[in-house]
Amino acid sequence: MASRIDAAQRTAIDMINARAKSSIDVALTRSFLHNTHEEWERRERIIQVLKDDPAFDKSRREFMTRTERYTRGLAMTNRIYELQEIHKWSNEETAVAFASLDEQLPNFLHNVAFQPVFSLQGSPSLVAKYGPQIATRGIIGCYLQTELGHGTNVSQLETTATFIPGTQEFEIHSPNLTSTKWWIGALGKTATYGVVQAKLILPGGKDVGPHLFLVQLRNTDNHNVLPGIVIGDIGPKALGGFSPVDNGFARFSHVRIPKENMLSKFAQVTEEGKYVQPPHAKLSYGGMLYIRANMVTGAGWLMAKAATVSIRYATVRRQGGKDSDGLEKQTITYPSLYIRLLPILSHAYVFIQLGKTLINSFNTMASRLATGDTSLLAEMHATTSGLKVLCSTMGVQDLEVARRSMGGHGYSAFAGLGRLYADYLPSVTYEGDNFVLDQQVVRAALKSFGTLFSSNSPSTSVSSLSPSSQYLRLLLQPAAPLPSPTGDGWGDPAAAILLLEWRAALLVREHAQTADEPDASVYQRVSKAVTEAFVAVQVGEIIKTLTSLPAHDAHVIRSLYTLYLLTTVEAGLVDFLSFGVLVPSNNTGSHDRSVDPARSLRLAINQLCQELLPNAIGLTDAFGFTDWELDSALGVFDGRVYDALWERVQTEPLNQTEVTSAYEESIKPMLLRGQRQAAQSHSKL
Amino acid sequence: MASRIDAAQRTAIDMINARAKSSIDVALTRSFLHNTHEEWERRERIIQVLKDDPAFDKSRREFMTRTERYTRGLAMTNRIYELQEIHKWSNEETAVAFASLDEQLPNFLHNVAFQPVFSLQGSPSLVAKYGPQIATRGIIGCYLQTELGHGTNVSQLETTATFIPGTQEFEIHSPNLTSTKWWIGALGKTATYGVVQAKLILPGGKDVGPHLFLVQLRNTDNHNVLPGIVIGDIGPKALGGFSPVDNGFARFSHVRIPKENMLSKFAQVTEEGKYVQPPHAKLSYGGMLYIRANMVTGAGWLMAKAATVSIRYATVRRQGGKDSDGLEKQTITYPSLYIRLLPILSHAYVFIQLGKTLINSFNTMASRLATGDTSLLAEMHATTSGLKVLCSTMGVQDLEVARRSMGGHGYSAFAGLGRLYADYLPSVTYEGDNFVLDQQVVRAALKSFGTLFSSNSPSTSVSSLSPSSQYLRLLLQPAAPLPSPTGDGWGDPAAAILLLEWRAALLVREHAQTADEPDASVYQRVSKAVTEAFVAVQVGEIIKTLTSLPAHDAHVIRSLYTLYLLTTVEAGLVDFLSFGVLVPSNNTGSHDRSVDPARSLRLAINQLCQELLPNAIGLTDAFGFTDWELDSALGVFDGRVYDALWERVQTEPLNQTEVTSAYEESIKPMLLRGQRQAAQSHSKL
């Protein structure tokens, strides 16, 4: 008994054994995910600087108030810019530093919204005047769009910007409570300037809709709020999310700004107050698409964290029946557990790689847009809308599935995934509410469908289908055989990809034919089918690139991508079955003899999972996260989860005294009352 | 323009109009949900006392640290017991007071775990000695089961209780790190005694498995921890959940307790150290089943809160296209929104009523158990396991669906649903991890299936099927026609109930036939199907009781229950289709001519939703929540959500100064650095 290794020590051995079992080359896979070995090394170097710097210490974070979290967030931000000077980091390297923090920070909005919108839409003279300070954060900005009363429906924003020809100024004004700008990141306590969305009112009262205006918010000398403006923080967010960000509100009372402060690269107002139309109404969409394109990569790396933490914990946690080694089973060996975790791993690999493709496409589009060429805009809009919905919905779900897979300890703040969930949760509503975006995806699909079939010879117009509408080609070949894989057939990614394209085609066609009587959830279903078909085709392309890896590694990673495809097919089974794409194998209409056609798919998925299991740790190690990045007691690299939990718990403020102050205040009176009542009831007997 | 009603004022009018449109008798429906008008009035009276008492003020809650939340929680607890004395509340009335708080409090564990386990399993002499003080909380207790290394698998707990014949004592000991008791509610700072699960070791070293022991933890005079025991709080929980609860850890170093402190109503140790077997190993399960049975009611009322807040907000929030009244549409009118919210309303009505049935069944079982009759135990165990999984999974999901339906503002802490989500989230893992319980449900189902078909004449043994296995009768009638509703046929609840029973029967049979080669998610699917069939039958019974209501009210509520049934069928479509229970209507195997059989179901659901919409506010008002109970700026009774948000936001601590302290520390250095860098780059030009 004495020589027996106890459960806490066992964890480290389990992790070492799991690493020994991995058959892939972790370093090569890491380079695949991080583009090149050099990019990985650069990242390592930057993270080394941060994790040894006290500004980025995470040990007290869970005990802080929101004000403390905000203050710490600003200190980290300032420190990173200081380090940028010290280490002569490029802007890209600085971005890597910020991205390696697991914190939402106010300056994020400066970088992804304020600065791009200002640069893309400001007039050359305005950009010349303010651009340099904005680039170096001599000005800290925010982007004031959403109002208390309006988010999604930008056209109904109520803030006004009235042109005053006499002084060549605009008057920014909040006419009522609901026009208060609301939710604006970095507005509450940080930003000195903002770009304000406001209805442009011409002399005579004509409203030409929302336009953008650069407005100074705070005094550059002492940070006081400028006259006529009321600014504040909108308070804590649900689940403690976005704690360090001062999402704020602002009301404007007849605030005057110079005419030149209108962002007038596209639309303008003349000195006389005449409106000059923008050449293309959509030229201003670039910024939003940039954020959405980046969300795909972001989701991939978040899924990677969820997979790393949960798979590591499931590797060292033993519970339940005895295994062949006489110990309780590692929880990762339970089918009900690995069937939840390995798909998350596959999602991470899909979205990390897909994000790279998407950023490339965005850059191509942006360079064309700069020359006034909007030809790629509609496609980019449809693609990023659908992917934004898919990756944010899936990311939120994966974080929670991973957290829940860790049972009781997953609910500890020290497990680390709850914090990521809380911060990621709003991604399903910001940058376009997912349910609104679904409708835009469907609208684009119906348009492609309509174009294809309104043509007299549809088959000739297949070549005009955009990349994201390629699946519609299938409808032109009614005789084309549908894949109906069984057994080993499911191992071929091509079959699953084609099935997912068929699903999209059939759903779009049915919706086009019944659009006058839609059911209540049709947009979600069609949007999902269309986007999943697009992703499936992209995954097929990614699989082709695996040839750059050694054959065995390529085989394992291909299996992981196949798992993504098959679980996507499984999640879409209702569509496949209700359209008769898959049918019960003995379908006589007599329920008692039919055989479940989903079963061969599910068995193939199980088979794939079992093949992948020995490499689960290797495939997560390949993400390359440090313990500092994960900040999870359950996801520590060495597997010593119980030691890690124990250490973290000792830092809890409640543990700094043996007897709580609530004892004298509340516990003692309660005990004394109870003792008195018990004595009274006893004396009555 | 001046006379136009602005959006903030409009909210109140929208709410008044929505109430005017409700055709049901809200007061009668309220009595239906609260059992009787008298029970409702009692509840009202108690809540009136609490909401006017400063101890229960919620206005600063969102800004508190965990230590402050804990301290406040104890103060509320003490105050309720004080009010109990003042107002001479019965224990039941006191329970109503606690249940009306939207707080998890340490004493909950005393009430639902420590006290019942002690009473049910303590020897008569031990109960006589400690019972009165436990009942009045002269002793505050906790229940120490889970350890750092073991939760689900109780049989592997490592804490030991070694019998010492010489002194007639037990020695409680934690032999290693992983045997540390962990997660124990009220242990960290509050409880004075605990019931400890520990392996009973007899003289000679024989281990007879986990048993229960009453152990004093803290000194009664000064609350100091007793010698040999190390106690602490395990730190913050994910998402800020369970903040006021001191979930704790404890390690015991050879702590001696008298022999009489073993809870020995069933199993005993003689003075010589001989073990006396319990008459029935499962006699001790009662307590756990009680908690699970209560979880159904709890889930129902939580879904009721989610429905009330989200439906109220969706009634006054206007966004997007213009309606016939020239205003933007109320968001509740969007199909993609009401299809998410009305099912939550239906879930609430189902689980509130089902919870009452279940408590009655539990009481019947408990009174039989007290006489040693265990005949109802297995059935109660199977039923409560399945329902616990279903109601907790659905409750967590509904809270998030409701929160997400409120778009951006739903992510504000002041929206109120995030807090409920954080507190409810662990329900999917505590009291039996849902994924483990699924297996128990399936095991029970397979056992019933096996019994039925191992008999020589199965048709005669139908009468022996337990209530939760009745669906298996269908397998004995292979010729019985399956319902295949279309169009209006979906309006009949009986058809949906029968379908859900068929699904359970077919899934259990398939699983029984393929149990040697299961796929990885089969337990979840079978467990869900079995439990949903049970609930469907119960819903059929509830519908029968509606005759006590006026005909119109009964009709509306019946539609709501039908919505529950149809959306459950829709969520199970994969099973219905893959078993050929529903088939594409023109199923020639040629995908291009088949017709989606799910469509008539989805249209029927949409139709039902539209019928229910005018009563959505009335049906939520009938829950009877006060604004104090909901504590949601978006769920206020009068609909003035924007005024409510504005008021709450002004209390944010960050708003108490115009310039944050982070300005001098971090923002100013950042601005100055940026200005310097901009100037430098300018001078280089």
Q: What is the largest CA-CA distance in chain A?
A: 99
Residues at the binding site of A are 146, 185
Mutate to test the interface with B, among A4, A58, A592 (most CBs of B within 10 A): A592
Residue A583's CB: how many other CB atoms inside 10 A?
22
B363, B286 Cβ separation under 8 angstroms: no
Tell me if B10 is assigned to some domain. no
Instruction: State whether residue A177 sits within 8 Å of chain B by CB.
Output: yes
Tell me whether residue B488 is exposed, middle or buried, using C-beta atoms within 10 angstroms of its C-beta: 0 to 12, 13 to 18, 19 or more: exposed
Nearest to A654 among B67, B335, B669 (CB): B67
Say whether B518 and A335 touch across the interface (CB within 8 A): yes
Say whether A654 and B233 touch across the interface (CB within 8 A): yes
E-only strand ranges, A159-247? 160-164, 169-173, 181-184, 193-201, 207-216, 229-233
Half-sphere exposure of A211 (CA within 13 A, CB side): 31
B431 in catalytic set: yes
Nearest CA in chain B to A67: B654
Instruction: State whether residue B658 sits within 8 Å of chain A by CB.
Output: yes
Nearest to B583 among A587, A650, A667 (CB): A587
B134, B125 Cβ separation under 8 angstroms: no
Give the H or E element holding residue A497: helix A493-513
- pLDDT band of B588, cuts 50, 70, 90: very low
Tell me whether residue A36 is exposed, middle or buried, using C-beta atoms within 10 angstroms of its C-beta: 0 to 12, 13 to 18, 19 or more: exposed
Tell me if A592 is assigned to some domain. yes
Catalytic residue among A62, A147, A431, A532: A431
Higher-pLDDT residue of B228 and A372 is: B228
CA separation for the pair A24, A411 (Å, rounded): 32
Q: Is B146 known to sit in a ligand binding site? A: yes
CA separation for the pair B75, B66 (Å, rounded): 14
Burial call B267-280: b when 16+ CB within 10 Å, e when fewer? bbbeeebebeebee
Say whether B662 and A74 touch across the interface (CB within 8 A): yes
Q: What is the CA radius of gyration of chain B?
A: 29
Mean pLDDT of B318-345: 94
Tell me if B369 is assigned to some domain. yes
Give the H or E element holding residue A47: helix A37-51
Name the least confident of A134-148, A590-604, B77-91, B564-578.
A590-604
The β-bridge partners of B656 are none
Catalytic residue among B62, B103, B147, B431: B431
Instruction: State whether residue A566 sits within 8 Å of chain B by CB.
Output: no
Same domain, A606 and A550: yes
Q: In this predicted structure, what is the pLDDT of residue A480? A: 65
Tell me if A682 is assigned to some domain. no
Q: In this predicted structure, what is the pLDDT of residue B154? A: 85
Same domain, B97 and B156: no
Same domain, A145 and A169: yes
Say whether B648 and A235 touch across the interface (CB within 8 A): yes
CA separation for the pair A629, A613 (Å, rounded): 24
DSSP string, A117-146: HHHHHS-HHHHHHHHHHHHHTSS-EEEE--
How far, CA to CA in Å, does A229 sit from each of A235, A475, A486, B432? 19, 58, 66, 54
Amino acid at B281: A
**Paired sense of beta strands A328-330 and A318-322, if any:** antiparallel
Say whether A666 and B71 touch across the interface (CB within 8 A): yes
Half-sphere exposure of B49 (CA within 13 A, CB side): 22
DSSP string, A498-539: HHHHHHHHHHHHHHHHSTTS--TTHHHHHHHHHHHHHHHHHH
- Mean pLDDT over all residues of chain A? 92
Tokens 């014949």 belong to which residue?
B165
B311, B616 Cβ separation under 8 angstroms: yes
Give the H or E element holding residue B678: helix B668-684
Tell me if A150 is assigned to some domain. yes
CATH of the domain at A462: 1.20.140.10
CATH of the domain at B171: 2.40.110.10
Q: In this predicted structure, what is the pLDDT of residue B581? A: 83
Burial call A598-629: b when 16+ CB within 10 Å, e when fewer? bbbbbbbbbbbbebbbebbbbbbbbbbbeebb
Q: What is the pTM of this model?
A: 0.96
Instruction: State whether residue B91 sits within 8 Å of chain A by CB.
Output: no
- pLDDT band of B130, cuts 50, 70, 90: very high
Q: In this predicted structure, what is the pLDDT of residue B194? A: 98
CA separation for the pair A630, A302 (Å, rounded): 10
Q: What is the pLDDT of residues B520-544, one digit of tens each?
A: 999 999 999 999 999 999 999 999 9
HEC states along A51-85?
A: HCCHHHCCCCHHHCCHHHHHHHHHHHHHHHHHHHH
The β-bridge partners of A328 are A322
Same domain, A158 and A222: yes
Instruction: State whether residue B148 sits within 8 Å of chain A by CB.
Output: yes
Same domain, B349 and B450: yes
Same domain, B332 and B309: yes
B42, B48 Cβ separation under 8 angstroms: no
Contacts of B69 (CB under 8 A, 6+ apart): B61, B243, B244
Q: Does position A590 have pLDDT exceeding 60, yes or no?
A: no
Tell me if B661 is assigned to some domain. no
Chain A residues lying within 8 Å of B478, measured CB to CB: 592
Name the least confident of A290-294, A587-591, B22-26, B238-242.
A587-591
CA separation for the pair A210, B404 (Å, rounded): 27
Q: In this predicted structure, what is the pLDDT of residue A682? A: 73
B182, B202 Cβ separation under 8 angstroms: no
Which residue in A122, A132, A119, A174 sits closest to A149, CA to CA? A174
Say whether B223 and A425 touch across the interface (CB within 8 A): no
Same domain, B363 and B256: no
CA separation for the pair B148, B159 (Å, rounded): 11
Instruction: State whether residue A581 sits within 8 Å of chain B by CB.
Output: yes
CA separation for the pair B27, B30 (Å, rounded): 5
Of A278, A311, A329, the position where a domain reaches its end is: A278
Mutate to test the interface with B, among A111, A223, A607 (most CBs of B within 10 A): A223
How far, CA to CA in Å, does B221 sit from each of A189, A656, B246, B252, B332? 49, 20, 21, 21, 58
CA separation for the pair A403, B425 (Å, rounded): 11
Q: In this predicted structure, what is the pLDDT of residue A151? A: 87
State how far residue B182 is from chain A, nearest Cα, in angstroms.
9
Nearest CA in chain A to B423: A239
* 3-class secondary-structure state, position B280: coil
- pLDDT band of A283, cuts 50, 70, 90: low
Tokens 């400066």 belong to which residue?
A110
State how far residue A194 is from chain B, nearest Cα, in angstroms.
15
Instruction: State whether residue A551 sits within 8 Å of chain B by CB.
Output: no
* 3-class secondary-structure state, position B181: strand
Residue A321's CB: how many other CB atoms inside 10 A?
9
Q: What is the CA radius of gyration of chain A?
A: 29
Contacts of B370 (CB under 8 A, 6+ apart): none
CA separation for the pair B578, B525 (Å, rounded): 13
Tell me if A205 is assigned to some domain. yes
State how far residue B478 is from chain A, nearest Cα, in angstroms.
7
Say whether A408 and B417 touch across the interface (CB within 8 A): no
Q: Does position A541 have pLDDT exceeding 60, yes or no?
A: yes
For residue B45, the enclosing domain spans 34-105
Same domain, A256 and A179: yes
Say whether B524 and A177 touch across the interface (CB within 8 A): no
**Paired sense of beta strands A169-173 and B328-330, if any:** unpaired
Of A278, A306, A325, the position where a domain reaches its end is: A278
State how far residue B34 is from chain A, nearest Cα, in angstroms.
30
Same domain, B450 and B536: yes
Number of independent structural domains in chain B: 3
Q: In this predicted structure, what is the pLDDT of residue A588? A: 43
Residues at the binding site of A for FAD are 146, 185
Q: What is the pLDDT of residues A635-665, one digit of tens each?
A: 999 999 999 999 999 999 999 999 999 999 9
Same domain, A377 and A446: yes
Instruction: State whether residue B403 sits within 8 Å of chain A by CB.
Output: yes
B277, B332 Cβ separation under 8 angstroms: no
Mean pLDDT of B545-556: 96
Of A214, A246, A278, the position where a domain reaches its end is: A278
Q: Does position B589 have pLDDT exceeding 70, yes or no?
A: no
Which residue in B533, B354, B526, B524 sits closest to B445, CA to CA? B526
Same domain, B50 and B71: yes
Residues 444-473 of A with CB under 8 A from B: none
- pLDDT band of A465, cuts 50, 70, 90: confident
Look up residue B302 and give its two tokens: 């939580």
Instruction: State whether residue A422 sits within 8 Å of chain B by CB.
Output: yes
DSSP string, A593-635: T---THHHHHHHHHHHHHHHGGGHHHHHHTT---HHHH--TTS
Nearest to A237 among B132, B153, B411 (CB): B411
- pLDDT band of B299, cuts 50, 70, 90: very high
Same domain, B456 and B357: yes
| % of chain B at pLDDT higher than 90 | 80
CA separation for the pair B525, B233 (Å, rounded): 38
Tell me if B373 is assigned to some domain. yes
Say whether B523 and A224 touch across the interface (CB within 8 A): no
Q: In this predicted structure, what is the pLDDT of residue A593? A: 41
Say whether B177 and A429 touch across the interface (CB within 8 A): no
Q: Does position A127 have pLDDT exceeding 50, yes or no?
A: yes
Query: B604 in the Ramachandran plot: left (φ > 0), alpha (ψ -120 to 50) or beta?
Result: alpha
Say whether A602 and B678 touch across the interface (CB within 8 A): no
Q: In this predicted structure, what is the pLDDT of residue B3? A: 44
A197, A211 Cβ separation under 8 angstroms: yes
Q: Is B588 known to sit in a ligand binding site? A: no
